[in-house]
Amino acid sequence: MTIELDKLLNWPFKDVVQTYTARDSMFYALSIGLGADPIDRDQLRFVYEKELAVFPTMSLVLGYPGAWAGDPGSGIDVSKVVFGEQQMTWHRPLAPAATIRARERVVNVVDKGEGRGALLYVQREIVDHDTGEPIVTQEGTLFCRANGGFGGPSGPVREPWKVPERAPDNVVEMPTLPQAALIYRLNADYNPLHADPAVAVAAGFPRPILHGLCTFAVAAHAVLKTHGDMQAGNLHSLRARFTAPVFPGETISVELWREGSSVSFRAWVRERDAKVLDGGHAVIAPRD
């Protein structure tokens, strides 16, 4: 399968209009582990309808355009695609219930060379459906391992954030449930890799893995509770690179460094000495 650059850059995405409810917002928060302590008022803010707030990373499951990369016309071998990195910028907090409109587009494809794969940069803009007011801009990188050597540009490549070399200021242990992937997939991503043991083994894993975007959200929880007073509006931007999968039931150990409004982070699964997120960075500050 061969990528055609111009075809991807002009892929005919349609706007996705989606209405979500307070129940959806609470379910998302539960799916990333909030409510683990049911009497913690900071967690209850996201899982109980009284004065409900929306956890910021819920926007990752809104406006999903479908499995467009699996279209044979894309030229992408989806069986060899892994999620490389994610970054987000919030223009305002999500409302507990709303109708949004999402616009997806491919912004660049970088050819790493024959046998080295390709990087596919995709952007999703989410706006208020009625007013057009921007809510969040999301950019993800897909590593298409089997699609290098198509004759595309060799750059620019997004540089990873470098975490400080000193010891972290905080380390936060974030347990996950054994059924975490089975819960999280009900938000939007029904990929059987996260549910079917046979599919996971065929993909080279001993058992189903946790969604990378769930791991990302768990790290966001660690950032927000340690440095953002668990106030959704205090999180302005977030980015990280995915370096290894998490298996449901494992504990994610998040290392954090604070320098003013800048918070660097990375995450490990200590039992396997596996670094699962790297190059993490957040901007935390009170929002006007």
pLDDT tens digits, 251-269: 999 999 999 999 999 999 9
Per-residue pLDDT at 82: 86
DSSP state of 178: T
Q: 100, 126, 209, 252: which is the annotated catalytic residue?
A: 209
Instruction: State the pLDDT at residue 162.
Output: 97
Of the candidates 281, 277, 257, the one whose C-alpha atom is nearest the C-alpha of residue 266 is 277
Query: What is the widest separation between alpha-carbon atoms in the chain?
Result: 56
- Is the pLDDT at 133 greater than 90? The verdict is yes
Domain spans, the chain? 5-284
What pLDDT, on the 0 to 100 scale, is given for residue 191? 87
Q: What is the pLDDT of residue 81?
A: 86
Residue 235, beta-bridge partner list = 284
pLDDT at 67: 87
Looking up tokens 């065929």 gives 202
Structure-derived torsion over alpha carbons of residues 245, 246, 247, 250, reported in degrees to the nearest 10? 160
Q: How many CA atoms lie within 13 A of 2 on its CB side?
A: 7
- φ and ψ of 271, to 5 deg: -60, -30
| Catalytically annotated residue among 24, 76, 194, 252 | 194
Catalytic pick among 24, 111, 189, 278: 189
Contact (Cβ atoms closer than 8 angstroms) between residue 17 and residue 99: yes
Residue 111 bears catalytic tag: no
pLDDT at position 188 is 87
| Average pLDDT for 139-162 | 94
DSSP 66: -
Better-scored residue on pLDDT, 45 or 287 = 45
Inform me whether the pLDDT recorded for 223 exceeds 80. yes
* 127 pLDDT above the threshold of 90: yes
**Which of 148, 152, 212, 279 is labelled catalytic?**
212
pLDDT of residue 201: 93
Q: What is the mean pLDDT of the chain?
A: 96
Determine whether 236 is an active site residue: no
Nearest to 56 by CA among 6, 93, 97: 93
Write down the pLDDT at residue 189. Answer: 85
For 12-36, write each residue's pLDDT tens digit. 999 999 999 999 999 999 999 999 9
Q: Is 126 a catalytic residue?
A: no
The verdict on whether 194 is a catalytic residue reads yes
Q: Which of 112-126, 190-204, 208-222, 230-244 has the lowest mean pLDDT?
A: 190-204
pLDDT in tens, 57-94: 999 999 999 889 999 999 999 888 888 999 999 999 99
What superfamily in CATH does domain 5-284 come from? Hotdog Thioesterase (3.10.129.10)
276 pLDDT band, cuts 50/70/90, is: very high
Instruction: Check residue 1 and give its pLDDT.
Output: 73
